[in-house]
Structure 1
Amino acid sequence: MFNHIKKYFLVYLLVQNSSFLLAQSPADAPQIKPTLTLDQTWNRALEYSKEININNLEVQVSREEIAESRHERFPEIALKGNYEFATNIPVYENGLFSKPTQHEVIHLLYKLGADYYFNIYNGNKLNLKIDRKKAAYEVAQIQKNLTVSEIKLQAAAYYLDLQRSIIFKDLMVKDIANQEKQLAEINDLHKHGTVLKSDVLRIELKLSNQKMMLVSIENDIIIANQKLNILIGLPDEQLINPSEQIAPELNELKSYEEYLEIAQKNAYEYHISEKKVEIKKIDLKSTKANVKPKVGLYGEFFMANPQIFLYPYSPSNYTLGIFGVRASIPLSELYINKPKERIAKMNLEKEEVEHHHTDDKMREQVFQNYQRFKEALIRIDVNKKDIDQSAENARIVKQNYFNQSALITDLLDADIQLLESQFKYASSKIQAQIQYYQLQNVLGTL
C-alpha cells in the first residue's frame, strides 16, 4: 500500500514539473519590455523618419544649386568643328534654261576651332541668382528644423499618452485590490447580518465595472504602444516601458513677453516667411536688371582649309584668332520689362502681407499655448489638493459605513471620487508636459 502511494506521488511530481517546463517555454515566455526615455524616443523617431530624410535631400540639393550658380562665373568655352563637301557651281551664261558651264571649286572643306565668352557685367543677375539660391537653401534648412520639431512633438504626445495609460492601469489595479479587500470585509459583515445583501451586490457590481474599465485601459496601452512603435520604427507588437519623468522646466514659467521674444528669434514658420520676403525682393531686383547692358570678353581661334576668309582665296590650311569686347543693350526690354516689374512688385507686396499675417498668427499661438501651459500648471496643484481631500473623505465615509452611520451609496461615491481625483492628477501632470512641448514647438526651441 505504501509503495502504491509513493508511486502515485512521484507521478504527480512528474506531471507538475512537466507543466512547469511547458509554461516556461520560449513561445509563452513573457516579452521583455525595453525602457525608453523621451530623449531616446526622439532619437529613434528622427532616425526613422522619412520626412526628415526628404528634408535632408532638399537641403543637399539647395547646397549644390548654390555651387552650380557659382560655377557660372567661369567663362563659357566651346570646341567646334565641321567637315564639308561642296559641289561645282553651275553658271548659266545663256539663261536659266540653257546648259550651264561648271565652275570648279575646292570640294573638301573643314574647320576646327574654339571660342569663349567671359561675362563681365550683366546687370548683376548672376550675383542675384546666387543670393536667391542661398535664401532657398536657408529656407530648406529651416523647413528641416520645423519637421524635426513637429516629429518630436508627435513622438512626445504618443510617448506621454502611453505613459498616462500605464499610470491609469496601475491606479486601477490598486483600486481593484482595495475593492476586493473591502468586498471581503463587507461579506463578513453580511454573514453576521450587519449589512444587507444589496450592499454586497453593489460592491460586486462596482468591482465588475472596474475590471471592465481595466480591460479598456489595457487596450488603450496596446493602441498607444503601436502608434509609438510605428513612429520610431519598432514592430507593432513590441511592448515599451516609458520611464516616468517630469520635464524639469515645467516649474520655470516665463512671462508672455519673454516667450514672444524667444519666438521672434527662433520660430520656424516666422523665419521661413522672412526668407520668402527676401526671395521676392531678389526677384524684383533681378527683373529690374533685365534692362541693364551686358558686357563681356569674347574670343575665337580656329584652323581651316581652304582659306576663304580674305580674298584672294587659297586651297591651304590657315589659322586665325579673334579677341575683343562685346556689349549689348536690350532696347526692347525697356517696354517689355515694365509689366514684369509691376508683377514682381505685387508679388513682393503680397509676400510682405503674408509675413505680417504669419507674425500675427505666431503671436496668437504663443499667447494661446502660454495661457494653456499656465492653466495646466495650476491644474496640477488643484488636482493634488483634490486627492488629499478625496482620500480623507473616503476614509471618513468608510469609517462611518462600517459604523453603520453611512449608506453604501455614500461609500461607493467616495471611492469613485478618490479614483477619479487620482486619474485627474495623473492626467494633469501628463497634459502639462504635452502643453509644455507644444509651447516649445511654437517657440522654435523643441
Structure 2
Amino acid sequence: MRYWMGFKLRHMFLKASLSLLLVPLTTAAQPQVRTLSIDELFRLGIENSLRMQASRIGETLAGERAKSARSERLPGLNVGLSGGYLGQPVVFQQGLTQATRPDTPNWSNNYNIDLSQPLYEGGKIRYSIRQADLERQIASLSTENDRAEIKMLLLQQYVALYNLYKQTEVLQQNIDESTRRLEDIRRMRNEGLVTRNDEIRSELQLTNDRLALREARNDICIVSQQLDVVLGLDETLLIAPDTALLYTAAPVESYQRYVERAYANYPELKIARENTSLARNDIRIARANYLPTLSLHGANTLARPITRTMQDTYANNWNIGLALSYNLSSLYRNRHRVEEARHAVSLRENAEQQVMQAIRVNVRRACTKHQEALERVQALMLAVRQADENYRIVHNRYLNQLSILTDLLDASRVRLEAQMQLTAARAEVIYTYYQLLQTCGSL
C-alpha cells in the first residue's frame, strides 16, 4: 500500500511538471509572423546577400578594366616644367689655357608638351579590349551562377520551414486525437473495462507528442532567425512559407529537352565557353608581338636661355612625325608564348567538354529524382488514406474490447509517420523541381 501511494505521488508530480513545461507563455509577447512567397524570398535574398554584393563588386571591377583597355586607344599627353640655376661656364681660348668667363644668364626655364598617338600595334590594343570584354562577361556569368546557388540555399531553408510547420499541424491534430482517446480510456477505466496500464501508456504517448510539438516550434524559430539574418529582416520575425507552392504543378519535360536548355543557359558552361574564347584571344595577342608598331608623335618646347648663344631669351620649338619600330627579338622569343597560348586553348576546350559531360549526368539525375519525388507523393497519398482507415478500424475495435491498446498506439504511430512522410514528399517535389531548373540554367 505504501509503495502504491509513493508511486501515485511520483506520477502526479511528473504530470504536474510536464504540464508546467508544456504550458505556453501567454504573458510573453507573441512574435510577429510574416507569410513569405517564394518570389519574395528570392528577391530579398538576392538584395541582401553578401555573396551577391561581392559578385556585383567584381562585375564592376571588370567593367572598369574594360574602360581602361579602351582608353589605350587615346593619345598619350605629357606636360613638363623644369627650371634651375646655371653655373658659370668657362671657355678656354687655346687648349686648356686662356680661360675666359663670358657673361651668361643665371636661370633656365623649360616648358614642354609631348603628344603620342598609337596608330598600329599589331592588334594588341584591339585584342586587349576584347580580353577585357570577355573578362567582364565572365564576371557577369559568375554573378548569375552565384544568384542561382543562393536561391537553392534559400529554398532549402524554405522547404525545411514548410516541413516544420506541417509537422506542428500534424502533431497538434494527433495530440487532439490522443486527448480524446485518453478521455475515452479514462471513462472505460471508471467502468472497469480497461486497466490503469492503458491509461498510463496513453498519457506517455500524449506527453511524447507534446514534447515533439515543442521541439518543432523551437526549430521553426531557429530556421526563421537564420532566414531573417540572410534576408535582412527583423530577427524576431517568424517566417511562414506559402503553402500554395507545395500544390503547384511541377511539369516534367523530356530529358533531351532539359539537356538542350542546359547547353544554352547553364552559367558554368557559358563561363567555360568564354574562357575558351579568352584563350583564343591570347593567341592573337601573342602573335601581335611579331608585327611592327607605328605611332604619331608631336612636341612643343618653350625654353630659355638659347643654348647655342646663351642669350637670355625664350625660344619655342615644335616637331611632329611618325615612329616605326620592330622588335627583332620577338622572332626567337615569342614562339614559345604562341605555343603556350595554343595549349591553353586545348586545355580550355577540354574543360568545356567536361562541363558538358557533367551537365548530362546532372540533368539525368535531377530528372530521375524529380520523377521519383512525384511518384512518392502519389504512393504516400494512398498510404495516408490506408493509415487513416486502419486507425479508424483499430480504434473502433479497441472501444469494443476486440483489440489491445498496443495495436491502437501502433496504428496511431503508423498514421503519424505516413502523414509526415507525405509532407516531406510534397516538399521534396518542389525542391527537386527547382534543382532541375538550376541544372538547366533556368533558375
TMscore range, shorter length: 0.7 to 0.9
Alignment of 1:26-425 (within 5 A): 28-90=28-90, 101-104=99-102, 106-107=104-105, 108-246=107-245, 250-308=249-307, 316-425=313-422
Deviates more, 1:152-161 or 1:315-324: 315-324
Q: Which residue of 2 aligns with 1:8?
A: none
- SS of residue in 1 equivalent to 2:176: helix
How far did 1:330 drift? 0.5
- 405 and 256 in structure 1: CA distance in 2 versus 1, 3 angstrom threshold: same
Q: Greater CA deviation, 384-393 or 87-96?
A: 87-96
Query: What's the RMSD between the two structures over aligned residues?
Result: 2.3
| SS state at 2:396 partner | helix
Task: Give the Cα–Cα distance (whole angstroms) in 2 for the partners of residues 105 and 256 of structure 1.
Answer: 96
Secondary structure at the aligned position of 2:403 is classed as: coil
> Using the alignment, how far apart are the partners of 1:50 and 1:67 within structure 2?
26
Residues 62-87 of structure 1: CA deviation (Å, up to 9, x unaligned): 22222222222111122223324333
CA distance in 1, matches of 2:100, 2:157: 92
Q: CA deviation at 1:314?
A: 5.7
Preserved contact between residue 32 and residue 236 of structure 2 (Cα < 8 Å): no
Indicate if the aligned counterparts of 1:35 and 1:242 stay in contact, CA closer than 8 A.
Answer: yes
Shift of residue 425, structure 1, vs aligned partner: 0.6
Task: Note closer, same or farther for the CA distance 1:436–1:105 as it changes in structure 2 (3 Å cut).
Answer: farther
Is the contact between residue 175 and residue 209 of structure 2 (CA under 8 Å) also seen in structure 1? Answer: yes
Contact 1:88–1:102 (CA under 8 A) maintained in structure 2: no
Cα 1:376/1:84, change in 2 over 3 Å = same
In 1: Cα distance, 2:28 partner to 2:230 partner:
27
Give the letter aligned to residue 232 of structure 2: G
> What CA distance in whole angstroms lies between the structure 1 residues aligned with 2:393 and 2:40?
45
SS at the partner of 2:244?
coil
Do 1:69 and 1:126's aligned partners in 2 also have CA atoms closer than 8 Å? Answer: yes
**Other-structure match for 2:20:** none
The answer (yes or no) to whether the contact 1:90–1:100 under 8 Å persists in 2 is no
Q: Distance in 2 between matches of 1:118 and 1:29?
A: 73
Identity %: 25
Q: Which deviations, in whole Å up to 9, do the C-alpha atoms of 1:106-126 show, x marking residues without a partner? A: 444333222211111101111
SS in 2 for 1:34: strand
| TM-score calculated relative to the size of structure 1 | 0.87
Cα offset for 1:253?
Answer: 0.6
Q: Which amino acid aligns with 2:78?
A: A
**Helix, strand or coil: the match of 1:246?**
helix
Q: Deviations over 1:160-191 (max 9, x none)?
A: 21111011001100101101101111222222
Q: Match of 1:245, SS?
A: helix
Structure 2: gaps spanning 5 or more residues: 1-25
- Aligned residue pairs total 417
2:362–2:439 CA contact under 8 A, matched in 1 = yes
Contact 2:116 2:297 in 1 (8 A): yes
Secondary structure, counterpart of 2:122 in structure 1: coil
In structure 2, relative to structure 1, the CA distance for the partners of 1:100 and 1:177 (3 Å cut) is: farther
Measure how far apart 1:337 and its partner are. 1.3
In structure 2, give the amino acid aligned to 1:221. Answer: I
Match of 1:441 among 429, 433, 438: 438
Q: CA deviation at 1:232?
A: 0.8
The answer (yes or no) to whether the contact 2:246–2:426 under 8 Å persists in 1 is no
Structure 1 position 439, deviation (Å) = 1.7
Alpha-carbon distance change, 27 to 322 in structure 1, aligned in 2, over 3 angstroms: farther
Q: Distance in 2 between matches of 1:164 and 1:383?
A: 15
CA distance in 2, matches of 1:54, 1:328: 43
Contact 1:250 1:436 in 2 (8 A): no
Report if aligned partners of 1:250, 1:433 keep a CA contact under 8 Å in 2. Answer: no
How far did 1:348 drift?
2.3
Distance 2:404 2:164 in 1: 32
Q: CA contact under 8 A between 2:300 and 2:316: conserved in structure 1?
A: yes
> Secondary structure of 1:299's match?
strand
TM-score (norm 2): 0.88
Aligned to 1:13: none
Whether contact under 8 Å (2:31, 2:236) holds in the other structure is no
Alignment CA distance shift 1:169-1:27 (3 Å): closer
Deviations 1:192-224 (A, max 9, x none): 222233222222221122122112212221221
- Cα distance in 2 between the residues matched to 1:85 and 1:229: 71
Paired with 1:352 and 1:434, the residues of 2 have a C-alpha distance of 33
Deviation larger for 222-231 or 338-347: 338-347
Counterparts of 2:98 and 2:386 in 1: how far apart (Å)?
123
